[in-house]
């Protein structure tokens, strides 16, 4: 298990911050179980267990440490929990039922897991769960397995027109048509740790004392005690966040998404000259260039690009976009051009050479856009993001 392999020092810091958050539960809820927002859990896990936060990548793993991918979950109550949503793919299964539906959903689930592992250089996956019970939190873990499609069986006597229950012999699942959501019953969780969380009756009084009195609050008589030790509250200002730019891997015509057969991810298939089978580029169209004209260096100026698995490559903006401004380009390519295609098409997507990429394939892989982050001048990172990210990134309707 992942948690047991962490040092005692990291475990204690992690639990301490979870406890602090839980003690403030009455800010948000009146339940006797401690409150913990899932985004707060993701950030606390990555900060105090020193993991890489993958949550904004919208992939199957929320965090990564070494070659281990971690799905982070927190809940109270039953162990029948959401593990994936497929709303963006509804048109592909809306008319299916029974085993046909189960096989389609299992296929999508497994492809998302496979692509996540390939993108981020992950060898194994597991779930790390913080379960909230009255007055305490429990830390549990279990394997994060793909669905075994060779052993699928619909569970008779359960379900209805909306929910289809099935098993692969290891886990029980059910898929909700109305919610476009796959649920799994976490029946094999291993309890690794548990600690009490006394919820403060009046957390507002504590916060008032901390922020009104500042450092002098230690001399004030406070009726509530949170064991913060030497920890300090840290606030990340949105003003200091790194610039980001989202680009689609597809084109649109009459609201229909498609991948051009001879450009973009299929540049290798274009005419005009002999091309390497791994030649691709990421389209950098005018509407996206105009969002921030100086986001990338000028055309043909190399920059460092960090891929999700930690690989570092050279890249540049290519292809003249405007004859009046030679600094502008309309494509993002690796340098040399075949490096990015070799990694994405062969290593991640595992496509045979000379396979034309289609939008239906991207749907299956669960990826249709990329998000670039500008770390500094000449240094960038890229994340491959789930279906619909481009529209959501810019608040546009699909």
Closest to 14 measured CA to CA, from 46, 39, 37: 46
Q: CA 102 to CA 346: how far, in whole Å?
A: 28
Q: In the block, which residue shows the tokens 């595992």?
A: 350
Dihedral sign, CA of 68, 71, 77, 80? negative
Q: 167 pairs with which residues across the strands?
A: 153, 172
Residue 305: half-sphere exposure toward Cβ, Cα within 13 Å: 23
Q: CA 174 to CA 166: how far, in whole Å?
A: 6
SS3 state of residue 314: strand
Burial 48-86 (b: 16+ CB within 10 A, else e): bbebbebbebbbbbbbbbeebbbbbbbbbeeeeeebbeb
Burial 219-231 (b: 16+ CB within 10 A, else e): eeeeeeebeeeee
Residue 324 has what pLDDT? 81
Q: What is the pTM of this model?
A: 0.84
Residue 166: half-sphere exposure toward Cβ, Cα within 13 Å: 24
* Environment class of 278 (CB within 10 Å of its CB; exposed 0-12, middle 13-18, buried 19+): buried
Question: How many C-beta neighbours within 10 Å does residue 191 have?
Answer: 11
- Residue pair 33/221 in contact (Cβ under 8 Å)? The answer is no
Q: pLDDT tens, position by position, for the chain (398 residues)?
A: 899 999 999 999 999 999 999 999 999 988 999 999 999 999 999 999 999 999 877 789 999 999 999 999 999 999 999 999 998 899 999 999 999 999 999 999 999 999 999 999 999 999 999 999 999 999 999 999 999 999 999 998 887 888 999 999 999 999 999 999 999 999 999 999 999 999 999 999 888 877 665 444 444 443 334 443 333 344 343 335 789 999 999 999 988 999 999 999 999 999 888 999 999 999 999 999 999 889 999 999 999 999 999 999 999 999 988 788 878 899 999 999 999 999 999 999 999 999 999 999 999 999 999 999 999 999 999 999 988 899 988 886 54
- Residue pair 182/83 in contact (Cβ under 8 Å)? The answer is yes
- Residue pair 138/130 in contact (Cβ under 8 Å)? The answer is yes
Q: CA 59 to CA 388: how far, in whole Å?
A: 13
316 Cβ neighbours under 8 A, 6+ residues apart: 297, 299, 300, 301, 302, 303, 329, 332, 333, 335
Calculate the CA dihedral of residues 213, 217, 222, 226 and round it to 10 degrees.
110
Per-position DSSP letters for 109-149, written without gaps between them: HHHHHHHHHHHHT-SEEEEEEEEEETTEEEEEEEE-PPP-G
SS3 state of residue 29: coil
């Amino acid at each position: 298990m992942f948690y047991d392999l962490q040092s005692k020092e990291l475990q204690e810091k992690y639990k301490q911050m979870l406890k602090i958050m839980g003690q403030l539960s009455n800010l948000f809820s009146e339940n006797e179980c401690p409150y913990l927002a899932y985004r707060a859990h993701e950030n606390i896990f990555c900060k105090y267990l020193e993991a890489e936060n993958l949550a904004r990548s919208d992939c199957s793993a929320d965090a990564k440490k070494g070659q281990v991918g971690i799905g982070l979950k927190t809940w109270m109550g039953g162990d029948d929990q959401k593990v994936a949503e497929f709303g963006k793919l509804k048109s592909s299964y809306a008319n299916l039922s029974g085993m046909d539906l189960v096989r389609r959903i299992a296929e999508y689930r497994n492809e998302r897991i496979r692509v996540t592992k390939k993108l981020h250089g992950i060898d194994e996956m597991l779930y790390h769960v913080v379960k909230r019970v009255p007055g305490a939190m429990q830390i549990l873990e279990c394997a994060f397995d793909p669905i075994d499609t060779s052993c699928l069986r619909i569970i008779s006597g359960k379900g209805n027109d909306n929910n289809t229950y099935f098993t692969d012999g290891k886990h029980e699942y059910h898929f909700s048509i109305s919610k476009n959501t796959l649920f799994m019953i976490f029946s094999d969780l291993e309890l690794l740790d548990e600690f009490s969380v006394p919820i403060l009756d009046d957390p507002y009084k504590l916060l008032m004392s901390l922020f009104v009195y500042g450092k002098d609050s230690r001399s004030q008589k406070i009726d509530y005690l949170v064991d913060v030790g030497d920890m300090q509250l840290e606030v990340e200002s949105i003003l200091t966040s790194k610039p980001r730019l989202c680009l689609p891997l597809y084109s649109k015509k009459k609201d229909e998404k498609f991948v051009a057969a001879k450009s973009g991810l299929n540049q290798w298939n274009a005419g005009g000259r002999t091309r390497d089978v791994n030649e691709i580029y990421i389209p950098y169209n005018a509407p996206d260039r105009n969002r921030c004209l100086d986001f990338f260096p000028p055309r043909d100026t190399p920059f460092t690009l960090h891929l999700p698995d930690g690989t570092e490559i050279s890249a540049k903006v290519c292809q003249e976009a405007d004859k009046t401004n030679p600094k502008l380009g309309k494509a993002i390519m690796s340098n040399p051009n075949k490096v990015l295609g070799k990694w994405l098409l062969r290593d991640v997507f595992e496509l045979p050479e000379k396979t034309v990429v289609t939008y239906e394939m991207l749907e299956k892989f669960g990826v249709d856009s990329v998000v670039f982050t500008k770390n500094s001048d000449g240094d960038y990172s890229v994340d491959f993001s789930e279906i619909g990210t481009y529209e959501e990134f810019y608040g546009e309707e699909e």
